[in-house]
Structure 1
């Protein structure tokens, strides 16, 4: 039987291989550390797109239970963009994005984009972030967009549970949803980050939800788990 340190060493090697395999990541500037399945990425990347790509690559690896990203964005001189140019391009991107309401605004400071304002749905809040996070010159995005308050419905919890039960990646016994007012707490265990994300998106699908706290643990499948 493998010891935890052996497993961590195997996960570390797999993450390094996945970073090396990913064409949108320069793995030579990224270090990897693993403890109990939790991966830490450190070092430098060219832009925020590479930072996000490195995180996605680590999340794809079997055995990874969490990913912490401590990657500094250090662009080369030919890719530098002034904050004035960036602020204009960010506003342009938000204006032309189909799913971003006019109530969402952006400020730029030290190449970090801060989004603020209100949206009716979580998908609109995510659309605002997607519109700007891959732009040249963006180092980080701080999404502070809030959702427009609504009156809570009595059947919100049951509807979320039904949605979880319908999902192909989830079993009804895997995840539990507890609703308190307009806040949902998700608990349980799933076998992948994709399933964890699916559960969270299911909760955000309710028009009465203002906040989702995702406490779901990722426990990758192992050979001794059986069928």
Structure 2
């Protein structure tokens, strides 16, 4: 039986509990505010990887509709590291990541990594971000990568609908798909942020999609 959170205070308490339950997050320095299902995270953490982990933890909580992550990265023990040092480690991480094509390039400025270049699939963009977000000295990652042009197909909408119907994590009766050229728009309702993200991943798996507009609403 799932637990129902009736108001913002219930969601706030649940998010705080989930942050405290997450081993790779130090919840002591993270604040949580909730308004109409929108969660704001603030405070500071030791690394960008911890900031990402905190956001993922909040997304796991029932009743969370969206998240504004205002957490700052401020290492408790600051080992001096230059942008050149970070750039070398970023280049090495991208080179060794099996799902990241050689077209992805990185620039480092004041602990912020910006990734550029063309890729064939959305999962390659996500793989590039994951490969560098856990590196020491990285405080933020900007995804400026682009998908290469791909042809539209008349049956894209139908094929995405069938993929959603096959997916055991999704209720196809509450998710609607429309297409316009290479753009897919998802609407409807789901029970959790995890389901909303799964719907996006399903749509991005199409070889004829350049953009996914996920307008699905997470039920309170």
TM-score, length-scaled by structure 1:
0.91
Q: 2:47 matched to 1:34?
A: no
Structure 1: unaligned runs, 5 residues or longer: 221-227
Cα shift at 1:31:
0.8
Question: Does structure 2 retain, via aligned residues, the 8 Å contact 1:183–1:212?
Answer: yes
- 2:175 corresponds to which residue? 175
- 1:191 corresponds to which residue? 191
Number of aligned residues: 216
- 1:154 corresponds to which residue? 154
Cα shift at 1:26:
1.5
- 1:49 corresponds to which residue? 49
Question: Which stretches of structure 1, 4 residues or more, deviate above 3 A after TM superposition?
Answer: 77-80
What per-residue deviation string (whole Å, max 9, x for no partner) do you get for residues 152-210 of structure 1? Answer: 11111111111111111222221111111111111110001111111101100111111
Q: 2:203 matched to 1:203?
A: yes
- Equivalent residue runs for 1:78-117 within 5 Å: 78-117=78-117
> Cα RMSD between the aligned structures?
1.4
Structure 2: unaligned runs, 5 residues or longer: none
Q: Which has the higher contact order (CA 8 A, sep 6+)?
A: 2
Q: 2:62 matched to 1:62?
A: yes
- 1:128 corresponds to which residue? 128
What per-residue deviation string (whole Å, max 9, x for no partner) do you get for residues 14-40 of structure 1? Answer: 111211222211112111101112111
Question: Does structure 1 retain, via aligned residues, the 8 Å contact 2:63–2:218?
Answer: no
Question: Does structure 1 retain, via aligned residues, the 8 Å contact 2:25–2:50?
Answer: yes
Cα shift at 1:80:
4.2
Question: Does structure 1 retain, via aligned residues, the 8 Å contact 2:63–2:192?
Answer: no
Question: Does structure 2 retain, via aligned residues, the 8 Å contact 1:79–1:136?
Answer: no
Q: 2:9 matched to 1:16?
A: no
* Distance of aligned partners of 1:166 and 1:49 in 2 relative to their CA distance in 1, 3 Å threshold: same
Moved more, 25-34 or 72-81: 72-81
Q: What secondary structure sits across from 1:115 in the alignment?
A: strand
Question: Does structure 2 retain, via aligned residues, the 8 Å contact 1:86–1:138?
Answer: yes
